[in-house]
Structure formats: structure tokens, C-alpha cells
Amino acid sequence: MHAIPNHTNSNFQIAYFLVGSCFTPDAAIALLTNLKENKEIALSQVKASELREKAKIIRANKMINSGDEVEQLEGEADLAEIEANKELSLKNITAAKSELDFINLCIEKVKPHCKFNHLSSDEAAQAAQQEEWKLELIHRAENYLLTGSIIPADHFATMRMHPEFETAILPAVKEITKSLSSEAGQLKLLAKSSKTQISIMLEGVFQLENKDAKL
């Protein structure tokens, strides 16, 4: 059961499966910034929703006082609907704020490790792409080989298009293949965690959040 009521993503999912899947701090910050902006937009729309709700209440009361039985019933139904949704809306807002707080904690933890802090957020995200893709392609190749498969042709074609194919990617693939040629090497690779530098960075944040929750 991975669903968390009223949340888009749990803190665990953010730390290990979303941001934790990034290989460089700058790519992680780009993803975190996107999560942050989406959550801030959702929260900023709360005010507009509250104003629409007030207008709906005024309209419903007018319908109730109209003297028309059908309009009275529709007005009462609108008020009942608003009342029924109140608790859920409050839970959604509270969850969104909690999620945003965790995202901000992650940004605070990762930001000092970024290589391109001197650039704008868009420029930093662009600048991180070569290193991020290199490590991502090596990681995928390792998973293919570890599961007894060959590297698929389309993935190998993508690896060859990377500017660091000959200098970094191919040597890494050769090293993985060499390790898999012995039983000891296979066991070592199988026991190796897939946690990235980023997910390790965020372990402390996630554990701190869990500790606070228990208190």
C-alpha cells in the first residue's frame, strides 16, 4: 500500500523514488523546484476556491429564500455539498502544506552541493544534463546486465550518442561485465545498493521527519 491520503507523493517517494533517482544535485534541485512550484500553484488556488465557495453560499441562500420550492431544494443541496466537502478540502490543504515543507527541506539539504549554483535555475538544469544522462545510462546498463539480460539495442544506441561514451560509459560497462564474469563479482554487484548520492543525502531529512512524526 503506497498511497498516502490527500498527498500527491509521500515523503518516502520523494526522497527515494523521485528526487532519489537523480544522480547529480543540480538535476535533483531541478526536479524539486518543479515539485515545489506545482505545490505552490495548488495552494495559491485555495484563495480563489474560497471566494467561489462564498459566492456559491450567497447564491444558495438566495435560492432558499426565493419562495420557489425547486430552487429552495437546489439551494439546500448546494449548502449540503459545501459542508460535506469542507473536511476533505481542509485535509487536502494541510497535506499540500506538509508536502511543500518536506520539499523545501530537501532543497535546503541538496542545494549547497550543487555545481551550478552560480547559474539561474533553468541554466543549471540544462548544464547538469550531460553528467546526469551519463550516470543514468550507466545505471540502466548495470541493471540490464545484472538481471542476466543484454543491453537492448535502442539503449546501446542512446549510450553511443552520448559525448562521453568512449571515455566514461563504455569503460563502466566493461567493468560491470568483468565483475559479472566471476561469482564473487556477481554477488558484489547484486548486493550493491542502487541508492544514489541524492537519496543518501535525503536519508537524514526523511528519518528526521519520521522521528518528529512519532513524537
pLDDT at 215 over 50: no
Owner of C-alpha cell 528526487: 19
5-28, pLDDT tens digit by residue? 778 888 889 998 999 899 999 999
Whole-number pLDDT of residue 3: 63
Helices 153-161 and 129-146, packing angle to 10 deg: 150
Q: What is the pLDDT of residues 58-113, one digit of tens each?
A: 999 999 998 889 989 998 998 998 888 888 888 888 999 999 999 999 999 999 99
CA distance linking residue 130 with residue 167, whole number of Å: 13
Question: Does position 2 have pLDDT exceeding 90, yes or no?
Answer: no
Q: Which of 28-42, 91-105, 122-136, 193-207 has the lowest mean pLDDT?
A: 193-207
CA-nearest of 127, 131, 106, 129 to 118 is 127
pLDDT of amino acid 214: 47
